[in-house]
Each structure stands twice: as C-alpha cells, then as structure tokens.
C-alpha cells in the first residue's frame, strides 16, 4: 500500500506543469552559471600562473640572503564553480620575509579583474539550487496535505487500512525523489561542462567533496520541503499555505541573509581600542630592539659610526634607525654590489653586527606576531563570526556555509593559506640558519658572488584535506539534519492529531 | 462602478494574510534601514571634513612659493558623501572616494656634455585603479579585506526591487484566474460593468494595498532619521526622495500589471503563480547579476601589464624627443632661454601624457561596467536600481560626475598657476621648472579650492533613461493587460 501511495505521489508530481517548467528553468540557469563560473576560474587561474612566474623570476634574481623575500600566491579553487565563497574575495599574494609573521592584513591581490564588476552579486551553482529548487520544494509541499484535505482525497486514502505515518512518509519520499532528480541532473550537467572545458582537473577527493555538496543540497531541500509540509498540515486552506510558504521562502533566502550581515556590518564597529593598544605593544618591542642595537653599536669597539657605515662616500643605513609605529619591524634588505677596498676593513665588523642583530629582529617579529594575531582574531574575525552565527538562523545560509566548507572556499579554507605561509616562513628561516646566512658576507653583500638558490625550499599550497573540509561542514550539516528531524516531528504530530 | 470594485478589492486585500505579512516585512526592513544608516552619514561626513581640512593644510604648506605649488598640486580631492545613501547605497564601497592631485616627484636626468640636470615631474590627477595589478603606477586601494559573508545592502532600492515586486505578484496572481475558478468573475460581468472598469479596479486595488505599506514604511524610516537629527535634509533632498518614491510606485505597477496579464492568460491560479514566480526569479533576481558578470567578458581591455609597458614607452619617447632638443641646462634668466622654455614644456607635456593615459585606462575600466549596466537594463529590477542611484546621488553616474568635476577643477587650478605667474615681473614665465617659475609666496585665499557638489540637474539627467525605460515597461504591460483581458473568454 505504501508503495502504491509513493508511486502515486511521484507520478502526480512528475506530470505537473510546475515541475516541468521549474526544472527547465533550473537546468538552463545551471548551464549558464557553470559557463560563467568556469570562465571566471580560467581567468583567475591564468592570472595566478602569470603572477607565480613573475614572482619566481624575481626570486631567482635575488643576490643576497637579506634580500630573500619570496612572494607566494594562492591558487584559485576549482570547486569555487559550485560555491564561490571567499575564494576570489580575499588577498591571494603574500610577501614572506623574516621580520614579519604574515596575516590576512598583509596580503595583496594579483589579478587583472575589474573590481567595479563586484557591483553585481555573484551567482554560483549553490545559489541556483538554494533559490530555484527550494521554490520547487515549496510548490510541491504547500498543497500536499491542505490540498488533499480540500479536495477530499485525503479522506478517501484514509478509508484504506493504512496508517497516517505511512501517508506522510509516502508524501515525503515521493516529493524528495522528484526533487533529487533535477538536482542530480544539474550536477551531471555541471560536471560534464567542467570536464569538457578541459582546464579543470578534479582529484578523487574533489569528487567526494562534490558528493558532500550534493548530500548537503539534498538535506537542505528536504528541510525546505518539510517547512512547506508543516505549513500545509497546520493551515486549513491551500491559498493560505501557499502565501505563507512563499513569504517564508523570500524571507529566508533573499531577505534574512542580507539583513543579518548588513545589520552586523553597520551596527558593530571594529574595536579600535584593541588595535591601538596593540600598536603600543608593538612599539615597545621595536624600542627594545632599537635599544639593544644602539647599545651594541656603542660597545662594539669601532667608534664614530653610530648606526651608519661609510661606504663609497655614501651613507648607508644598517639598522632600524627611524622607528615608526608600524605593524612589523621595518624590513631591511641589503645588496652591496661593490665595496671599496678602503671599506674592506669594516667587513668583519659588519658581519658581526648582522650576526648579532638579525636573530634579535626575528625573535622580535615573532613576538609581534603573538600580539597581532589575537588582535586580528578579536577585531575582524569577531565581527565575521557574529555575522555568520546570526546567518545560521536561516537554513539557506546554513546550506551556503556548509557547501562553502565542503568546497574549501569558506573563510577557514582561505585562511589556511596564511597558516601555510607562516609555516613556510619558518622553513625559510630554518634554511637561513642552516646556511649560516646571518654570519655570512652574502647576507648583505654580493660583491663576492651571489647566493645559490638551488636548494631553497619551495612553497606548495595544499588545500585542506577532505577530512578537514568535512569536519568544517559538519556543524552546519548537523544543524540542518536536526532541523529536518524537528520539522518532521512537528508535521507528524500535527497530522496525526488532526481531524480529517 | 469602478469605485465599488476598487473598494471591494481593497477590503479584500487589507483583511488578507498577505497584506499583514507584507506590511510587517516592509516595516521591519525600513526600520533596519533607518537605524543602520543613522550613524553612517555622520561618520562619513566627519571623515570627509577631516580629509578636506587635510587637503587645505597641505595647500597652505605648499603655497610658500608658486613653484612648490606647481610641483605638488592641490592634493587629494574628496568625494562628498551623499545624504541619501540610505535610499540607494550604489556600491559605494567599490568606488573610490578621492582623486589625487599630486605627484610621486620622480626625477628624469638630462645629461649634457659636461653638465646634467634633474627634471622633477609635476603634479597631475591620479585615479585609484580598479585593477590590483596597477598599484605600481597608481595608489593602491586600501586592502582592508572584508571577511564578512556576501550581502546586499538593505536600502530602499533593495526593498523596492525585491520586496515590492514580489508583493505585486502576490497580490495579483489570482486576480482573474482565481475569480474565474470561483465563478465570481462571471457574476461580476453579469452586472452592467465594463471589462475596462474591472481591470482598472483590480489594478488600483492591488496598487493601493502595496502603496500603503510602502508609504508607511518610508514615513517611519524617514521620521526615525529626521527625529534623530542624524541627517539634515535640504529642499532638493525632499525632491529627490519624492522622485524615488514615484519611481518605486511605477516599478510596483509594472509587476502588478505583469501579474494581471499572466493571471488573465492562465486558467488556474496555481499555474499563474508558478509562471509568475519563475518570471520573477529569473527577471528580477538572476538576470541583473548573471548578465552583470557575463558582460565584463564582452568588453576587452588591455591587460595591466600591456598598459604599464605602453605607459613607460610613451613617456620614454617624449623624454627622448625633448632631451634631444635641449642643448644646455635651464637657467634663471628673463626672458626665458630656449632650454628653460623647452624644459618647462617637457615637464608639462609629461604630466599631461601621464594624465591622459591614466584617464584612458580608467575609462576602459568604466566602460566595462557601463556595458554591464546597459545589458542588465532588460531587467526592470536593474533599471529601478540605477534610477534610484541616480536620484539619490550615489552609484556610478554620481561617481562619473565627481571625476568630471575634478577634471574641471584641475583645469581651473592650472589656469590659476599660469595667471599668478604672469603677475610676477621677476618670473621668466616658463612654468614647470624652478628656473622658469615665480618663487614668490602665493596668497592662500586666492587659490581655487575644490568642492564636490551634488548637482540635481546632472543626477536627474542620469536618471532620465531609466525613467523612460520603466515607463516603456509599464506601457507595454498596460496594453498587454487590456488586450488580453478584453479578448479573454469567460466560462
């Protein structure tokens, strides 16, 4: 009997006008959107490749160790076709050097994109599902119970020996099958376009991530369908049910996400006092280094050079001479290409000076990193977190966040790059220690030959592993599942206790 | 008779669930809008005034000699924030807020037989660029990466474009097909009432039941802003707001008529709703954004790298041409020597060249978004957004007006420098290099100051196309509604 009902539900949905037209519109939009996103990805990839080559060449032209400051780039994420997230929003080029712990603040952006175009809201595949397929879900749901009650067919069905839970289950599964069908077709179309484009290669893990996105989409559609079903069970007239469902649809998907983030954006201010106090702490660290430097210079046995060396009649700075309130210790690179013979007697002195000062500055930079990192978390991240948590009141936003996490284009996916960058900086400093770079002449002078960079460790940016992505998507996925269960229970209890 | 129909429709709507929900939603959005923009205008005005004062101080510092002023220019020229940003935000975070009238003071070395001379580049206008790759030749945009999730600003434009159009559909999808289903349409037409009156009554009934909550919302929003004294409105501001409200009502009418057409053409109200919802989804929500990102690809633009090469080469050409003609270093002598005149001419030509190339590039960037705006105008949601921006004095048209104002000012400033130099008898009148320019201090009050002005006529001109387009949409749908209803068979 259950199967008969299920079959009836599926057939009834499949032959409707609303199913046909919504699916056609949805598929058309999927085709267009995939094309645009693929094109966008290819442009960003080309820009990434150019930038990487330019930065590589610049690095290979480095002549001294102190001048070693590679620029590293973040590659675009191919899964941004599904959910663009923050992937093309945040900085994607970062300069690594020994006196700074890199943060999002320090990032620049490569790319030839026209930022004015950001004027338009970006559309990705997830937005199409979130918006169009959820409409279909609600259109299936609004008359599922109220409609049958009005038409009297519900009574007819109940006259058979079948439980109410079976009726409800048949309705739910029938509609879900009809919803998952266009969803899977859309994914297939998108994947076919991507494969045909030839520029994007997915690894096995990427397919699992896409499967994760698909699973999240199904759970999301089920939640939306259950919202409609609950309204349909609770309300007596189909017209009312329809009106309420559509209202909730517009509010949950279009209005609420913008309203909540907008409100947080406008009504909370960045905690300026935290930033200011961090400047104080950074200033102190810098002062300490300066003091140590001038003490060293006073007691080093060479008189009269204060913080400057005489070289070829030009005065050359060799230290943090004019301290400014900056976010990091002023970076100094040196490349003395020819040293006059009369300056040669100062060389051991210069080497000793750098040997003393450089580790000091590296340690100071690390201390500053310890000051800056929490400030960054407490000011910027704090607001973004509030906004994201407020967003979670809408299942559509939860769906968006969960799919971003699967695709690795969420905020954490992007900040992973900076974690990797910090790791790379440590590797680079270890490399300098291994080479004894601070106590070598090549730290600041290239007159006796440039440095050899053959064994310089390269930066490789790995997207987070599948497990990490899954664990980041899990909270939102759990919330969505919980919402499903709650909605189902509510619908069930209303439907069971109702008089027909 | 028509009055009775309107009355009946209105009563029907006012007591319905959809009216209650609409009113609630619009009210909430309008209150959020008002509260959110309360502090913003004041804060931006403060920043603007601070910046203007900084520019003034810089001018004071550099007015010690005329040459210094020629070298350094007028400093940053700032865009005045609009007091009506709460009506249409216009993506102001994306458009830069100032144009620099300054210089990097790089030098070019001229080498003679046994002498040399440093030419210092003089001021020009520098526009912050949209492409991040161009930071080498233009000031970078502040890289305050926003880690907020994407969102649309909740301004009047959003409420109108999304919410009001949705209401228009919701109030009319069952206007004809629903009555047909219930059989009341036949009953009504059995009376001595013309079909014209029926359709007009339906239209007006729906129109008022949307206009009332919207007007209440705007009044609430405005009174919050007005009573908190956060923004002082001028007379022209009220006119702008009246224009905005009118545009919003015209836009709502478009969707009411659309709802009526579809409702007339379909048999069942549920079919009509599905069709309307899909039209709305595609036409209002998706079209502007999909076409927007699509059209940036239609207009090609030299890559930043190509541009930088071209920029360097043109400057090098100019330098070679002039340096070949300069035989001796410029000297301070009256009248100016040939070398002095040529040197001054070179420095000026170079500034002009930089200015022109830079402005050309900016215009290719702006052309991309202009194309996007033309294309997206097939969606009335985009049209209404642009009309709002133009009337509120935000967005791209306002930005273009600002840029043209800075150009006018730059001309005025240059003319002032020339005129001041002429009054000094001790100057060789070859402006651009220290040897040829007056070294006397300049009277600060006489220097023209830049003030960004919001010009109502300019803004209104920018809105005209959009207003006409909205009227066109309205007219087409109006004719469509009448014809389809007159031809419809009533069963």
Give the DSSP per-residue string, B141-193: PP-----SPP----SHHHIIIIIIHHHHHHHHTTTTHHHHHHTHHHHHHHSS-
Number of domains forming the structure of chain B: 1
Over range A148-155, report the average pLDDT.
85
Asked if residue B37 is part of any domain, the answer here is yes
Give dist(CA A103, CA A425) in Å, integer. Answer: 12
Q: Which residues between 197 and 216 in chain A have a beta carbon less than 8 angstroms from any beta carbon of chain B?
A: none
Distance CA B273, CA A138 (A): 12
Residue A327 has pLDDT above 60, yes or no: no
Residues of A in contact with B37 (CB under 8 A): 266
Instruction: Quote the minimal CA–CA distance from B137 to chain A in Å.
Output: 14
In this prediction, residues B273-289 reach a mean pLDDT of: 90
Q: Which residue has the tokens 């057939």?
A: A11
Q: Average the pLDDT over B447-462 and give the result.
A: 86
What pLDDT, on a 0 to 100 scale, did the predictor assign at position B131?
55
Distance of CA A167 to the CA centre of its chain: 43
- Residues of chain A with pLDDT > 90: what percent? 39
CA angle, A403 then A247 then B280, to 5°: 80
Residue B259 pLDDT > 90: yes
Closest by CA position to A181, among listed A226, A126, A125, A133: A133
The residue-averaged pLDDT of B276-285 equals: 92
Binning pLDDT at 50, 70 and 90, where does residue A301 land?
A: low
Q: Answer whether B273 sits within 8 Å of A380, measured CB to CB.
A: no
Distance CA A130, CA A87 (A): 19
Cis amide linkage into residue A65, ω under 30° from 0:
no
Distance between CA atoms of residues B182 and B171, nearest Å: 17
Nearest-CA residue of chain B relative to A132? B281
Question: Measured between alpha carbons, how far apart are the two ends of chain A, in Å?
Answer: 20
What pLDDT is attached to residue A304?
46
Band (pLDDT 50/70/90 cuts) for residue A324 is very low
Q: Give the chain A residue nearest B94 (alpha carbons).
A: A116
B415 with B405: CB under 8 angstroms?
no
Q: Is B384 or B297 the better-scoring residue by pLDDT? A: B384
Which of A75-89, A300-314, B169-183 has the least mean pLDDT?
A300-314
Question: Could B151 and A265 be called an inter-chain contact, meaning their C-beta atoms sit closer than 8 Å?
Answer: yes
What is the DSSP-derived secondary structure letter of residue B109? E
> Chain A, 120-159: which have a CB under 8 Å from a chain B CB?
120-123, 131-132, 135, 139, 143
B362 → chain A, closest CA residue? A114
Contact A407, A86 (CB under 8 A): no
In this predicted structure, what is the pLDDT of residue A117? 64
Selected residue with higher pLDDT from B105 and B123: B123
Q: pLDDT per residue over B193-236, tens digit each?
A: 888 888 889 999 999 999 999 999 999 999 998 888 878 888 88
Does position A378 have pLDDT exceeding 60, yes or no?
yes
- Collect all residues of chain A within an 8 Å Cβ-Cβ radius of residue B34: none
pLDDT tens digits for B57-90? 999 988 888 888 888 888 889 999 888 989 998 8
Average pLDDT (A425-453) is 85
Range of A238-252, A289-303, B111-125 with top mean pLDDT = A238-252
What number is the average pLDDT over the span A295-308? 61
3-state secondary structure of A94: strand
Three-class secondary structure of residue B57 per DSSP? helix
B338 C-beta neighbours (distance < 10 Å), count: 12
Distance from CA of B478 to the nearest CA of A (A): 26
Q: Which of A22, A120, A253 to substitute to test the interface with B, most B CBs within 10 Å?
A: A120
Q: Is B150 part of a structural domain of the chain?
A: no
Chain A from 60 to 119: CB within 8 A of any B CB: 86, 89-91, 104-105, 107-119
Nearest-neighbour CA in chain B from A102: distance (Å): 14
pLDDT value at A313 more than 50? no
pLDDT digits (tens, 9 = 90+) for B317-331: 999 998 888 888 888
Ranges A118-132, A188-202, A367-381, B364-378: which has the least confidence: A367-381
A322 pLDDT exceeds 50?
no
A332 or A248: which leads in pLDDT: A248
Structure-model confidence comparison of residues B429 and A183, the more confident one: A183
Domain ranges across chain A: 2-95+114-268+465-497, 270-392+411-443
Q: Which residues of A touch B281 (CB under 8 A)?
A: 25, 131-132, 135
SS3 A440: coil
Q: Which of A117, A126, A237, A249 is the best mutation test for B, with the most CBs of B within 10 A?
A: A117
Binding-face residues of A in 465-484 toward B, CB within 8 A: none
| Average pLDDT score, chain A | 84
**pLDDT confidence of residue A111:** 63
Query: Given this model, what pLDDT does residue A68 score?
Result: 85
Mean pLDDT lowest for which of A113-122, A159-168, B121-130, B280-289?
A: A113-122
- For residue A5, the distance in angstroms to the closest alpha carbon of chain B comes to 23
Question: pLDDT of A217-241, one tens digit each?
Answer: 999 999 999 999 999 999 988 888 9
The pLDDT of residue A77 is 92
Q: pLDDT at residue B261 above 80?
A: yes
Number of helices and strands (H, E) in chain B? 16, 5
pLDDT band at A114 (very low <50, low <70, confident <90, very high): low
A 10 A CB-CB count for B486 gives 12
Q: B372 and A120: CB-CB below 8 Å?
A: yes
Residues listed for chain B: 491
Quote the pLDDT of residue A328.
39
Three-state secondary-structure class, residue B287: helix
User: What does the block give as tokens for A261?
Assistant: 């983030």
Query: How far is B235 from B488, CA to CA, in rounded Å?
Result: 49
**H-helix or E-strand spanning residue A21:** helix A17-60
Instruction: Give the pLDDT confidence score for residue B253 in this predicted structure.
Output: 96
**CB within 8 A of B274, min separation 6: which ones?**
A17, A18, A21, A22, A139
Predicted confidence (pLDDT) at residue A30 exceeds the cutoff of 80:
yes
Q: What is the pLDDT of residue B291?
A: 83
Identify the pLDDT of residue B226.
87
Q: Examine residue B421 and state whether it is found in any structural domain, yes or no.
A: yes
Query: Which chain A residue's Cα is nearest to B40?
Result: A266
Q: Is the pLDDT of residue B140 over 50?
A: no
- Tell me, yes or no, if the pTM score tops 0.80: yes
Query: What contacts A199, CB < 8 A, 6 or more positions away?
Result: A38, A41, A42, A45
In this predicted structure, the answer to whether residue A348 has a pLDDT above a threshold of 60 is yes
The shortest CB-CB distance from A262 to any of B18, B151, B366 is to B151
* Contact state of A40 with B293 under an 8 Å Cβ cutoff: yes
Cα of A123 to nearest chain B Cα, Å: 6
pLDDT for the residue numbered B332: 83
Residue A356 binned pLDDT confidence (cut-offs 50, 70, 90): confident
Residues with Cβ within 8 Å of residue B392, at least 6 apart in sequence:
B82, B84, B85, B87, B88, B90, B240, B244
- Considering only residues 438 to 457 of chain A, which have any Cβ-Cβ distance to chain B shorter than 8 Å? none
What are the strands, taking DSSP E only, across A198-322? 308-311, 314-317
**DSSP letter (8 states) at residue A348:** H
Nearest to A121 among B149, B277, B289 (CB): B289
In the block, tokens 């943060």 appear at A103
**Residue A142 pLDDT more than 70?**
yes
| Full domain range(s) for residue B336 | 1-143+157-491
Report yes or no: A433 at the B interface, CB cutoff 8 Å. Answer: no
Query: How far apart, in Å, are the Cα atoms of A11 and each of A17, A139, A172, A233, A256?
Result: 12, 15, 14, 21, 35
Out of B94, B152, B303, closest to residue A112 by CB: B303
Q: Which of B158, B163, B168, B157 minimizes the C-alpha distance to B247?
A: B157
The answer to whether the CB of A48 falls within 8 A of the CB of A92 is: yes
Q: Do A387 and B148 touch (CB under 8 A)?
A: yes
DSSP secondary structure of A150-161: HHTHHHHHHTSS
Residue A326 pLDDT more than 50?
Answer: no
For residue B361, the chain A residue with the least C-alpha distance is: A114
Which pLDDT does position A315 carry in this prediction?
31
CB–CB contact A384 B152 (8 Å) = no
Size of interface A-B (CB pairs under 8 A): 187
Give the pLDDT score at B317. 93
* Any B CB within 8 A of A377 CB: no
The confidence score (pLDDT) of residue A233 equals 92
Output Rg (C-alpha) for chain A, integer angstroms.
31
Question: At B77, phi and psi to the nearest 5?
Answer: -105, 125
Q: What percent of chain B has pLDDT over 90?
A: 35
Predicted pLDDT at B469: 94
Q: Is residue B468 part of a domain?
A: yes
Residues in chain A closer than 8 A to B152 (CB atoms):
121, 258, 262
The model's confidence at residue B432, banded by pLDDT at 50, 70 and 90, is confident
Distance of CA A339 to the CA centre of its chain: 49
Q: Which residue of A has its CA nearest to B35?
A: A267
ipTM of the modeled complex: 0.86
């Amino acid at each position: 009997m259950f199967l008969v009902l299920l079959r009836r539900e599926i057939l009834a949905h499949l032959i409707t006008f609303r199913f046909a037209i919504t699916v056609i519109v949805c598929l058309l939009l999927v085709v267009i959107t995939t094309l645009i996103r693929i094109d966008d990805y290819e442009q960003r990839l080309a820009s990434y490749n150019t930038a990487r080559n330019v930065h590589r060449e610049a690095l290979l032209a480095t002549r001294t160790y102190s001048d070693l400051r590679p620029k590293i780039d973040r590659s675009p994420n191919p899964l941004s076709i599904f959910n663009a997230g923050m992937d093309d929003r945040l900085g994607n080029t970062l300069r690594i050097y020994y006196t700074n712990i890199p943060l999002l603040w320090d990032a620049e952006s490569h790319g030839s994109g026209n930022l004015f175009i950001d004027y338009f809201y970006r559309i990705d595949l997830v937005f199409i599902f979130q918006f169009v397929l959820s409409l279909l879900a609600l259109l299936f749901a609004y008359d599922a119970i109220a409609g049958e009650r009005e038409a009297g067919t519900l009574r007819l069905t109940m006259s058979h020996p079948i439980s109410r839970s079976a009726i409800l289950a048949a309705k739910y599964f029938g509609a879900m099958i009809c919803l998952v069908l266009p969803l899977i077709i859309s994914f297939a179309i998108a994947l076919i376009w991507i494969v045909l484009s030839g520029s994007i290669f997915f690894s096995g893990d990427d397919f699992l991530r896409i499967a994760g996105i698909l699973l999240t989409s199904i759970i999301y559609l089920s939640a939306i369908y259950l919202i409609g079903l609950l309204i349909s069970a609770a309300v007596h007239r189909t017209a009312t049910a329809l009106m309420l469902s559509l209202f909730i649809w517009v509010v949950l998907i279009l209005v609420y996400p913008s309203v909540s983030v907008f409100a947080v954006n406008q009504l909370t201010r960045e905690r300026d006092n935290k930033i200011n106090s961090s400047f104080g702490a950074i200033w102190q660290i810098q002062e300490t280094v300066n003091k140590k430097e001038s003490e060293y210079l006073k007691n080093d046995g060479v008189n009269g050079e204060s913080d400057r060396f005489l070289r070829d009649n030009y005065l050359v700075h060799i230290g943090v001479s004019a301290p400014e309130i900056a976010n990091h210790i002023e970076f100094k690179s040196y490349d003395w290409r020819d040293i006059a013979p009369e300056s040669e007697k100062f060389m051991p002195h210069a080497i000793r000076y750098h040997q003393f000062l450089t580790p000091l500055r590296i340690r100071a930079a690390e201390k500053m990193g310890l000051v800056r990192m929490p400030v960054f978390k407490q000011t910027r991240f704090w607001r973004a977190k509030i906004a994201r948590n407020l967003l979670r009141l809408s299942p559509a936003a939860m769906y968006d966040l969960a799919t971003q996490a699967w695709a690795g284009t969420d905020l954490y996916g992007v900040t992973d790059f900076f974690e990797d960058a910090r790791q790379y900086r440590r590797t680079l400093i270890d490399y300098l220690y291994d080479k004894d770079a601070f106590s070598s002449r090549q730290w600041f002078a290239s007159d006796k030959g440039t440095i050899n960079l053959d064994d310089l460790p390269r930066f490789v940016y790995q997207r987070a592993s599948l497990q990490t992505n899954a664990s980041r998507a899990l909270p939102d996925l759990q919330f969505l599942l919980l919402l499903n269960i709650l909605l189902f229970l509510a619908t069930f209890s209303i439907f069971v206790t109702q008089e027909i | 008779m028509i009055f009775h129909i309107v009355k009946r429709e209105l009563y029907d709507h006012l007591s319905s669930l959809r009216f209650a929900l609409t009113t609630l939603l619009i009210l909430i959005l309008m209150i959020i809008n008002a509260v959110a923009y309360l502090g913003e205008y004041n804060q931006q005005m403060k920043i603007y005034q601070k910046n203007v004062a900084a520019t003034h101080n810089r001018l004071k510092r550099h007015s010690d000699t005329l040459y210094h002023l020629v070298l350094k220019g007028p400093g940053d020229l700032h865009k005045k924030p609009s007091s009506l940003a709460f009506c249409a935000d216009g993506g102001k975070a994306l458009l830069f807020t100032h144009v620099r009238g300054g210089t990097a003071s790089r030098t070019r070395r001229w080498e003679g037989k046994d002498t040399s001379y440093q030419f210092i580049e003089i001021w020009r206008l520098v526009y912050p660029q949209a492409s991040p790759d161009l930071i080498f030749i233009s000031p970078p945009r502040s890289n305050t990466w926003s880690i907020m999730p994407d969102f649309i600003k909740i301004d009047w434009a959003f409420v109108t474009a999304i919410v009001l159009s949705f209401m228009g559909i919701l109030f009319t999808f069952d206007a004809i097909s629903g009555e047909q289903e219930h059989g009341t349409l036949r009953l009504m037409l059995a009376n001595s009432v013309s079909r014209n009156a029926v359709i007009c009554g339906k239209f007006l009934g729906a129109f008022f039941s949307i206009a009332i909550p919207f007007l209440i919302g705007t009044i609430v929003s405005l009174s919050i802003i007005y009573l908190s004294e956060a923004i002082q409105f001028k007379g022209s501001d009220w006119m702008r707001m009246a224009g905005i409200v009118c545009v919003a009502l015209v836009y709502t009418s478009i969707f009411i008529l659309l709802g009526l057409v579809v409702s007339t053409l379909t048999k069942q109200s549920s079919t009509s709703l599905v069709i309307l919802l899909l039209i709305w989804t595609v036409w209002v929500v998706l079209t502007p954004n999909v076409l927007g990102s699509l059209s940036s690809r239609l207009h090609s633009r030299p890559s930043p790298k190509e541009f930088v090469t071209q920029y360097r080469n043109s400057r090098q050409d100019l330098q070679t041409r002039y340096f070949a003609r300069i035989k001796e270093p410029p000297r301070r002598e009256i009248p100016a020597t040939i070398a002095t005149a040529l040197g001054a001419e070179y420095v000026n030509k170079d500034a002009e060249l930089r200015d022109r190339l830079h402005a050309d590039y900016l215009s290719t960037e702006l052309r991309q978004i202009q194309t996007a705006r033309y294309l997206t105008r097939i969606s009335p949601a985009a049209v209404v957004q642009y009309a709002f921006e133009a009337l509120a004095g935000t967005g791209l048209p306002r930005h273009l007006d600002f840029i043209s104002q800075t150009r006018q000012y730059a001309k005025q400033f240059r003319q002032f420098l020339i005129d001041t130099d002429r009054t000094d008898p001790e100057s060789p009148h070859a402006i651009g290099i220290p040897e040829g320019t007056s070294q006397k201090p300049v009277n600060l009050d006489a220097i023209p100051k830049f003030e960004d002005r919001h010009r109502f006529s300019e803004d209104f001109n920018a809105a005209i196309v959009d207003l006409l387009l909205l009227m066109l949409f309205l007219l087409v749908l109006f004719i469509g509604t009448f014809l389809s209803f007159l031809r419809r068979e009533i069963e």
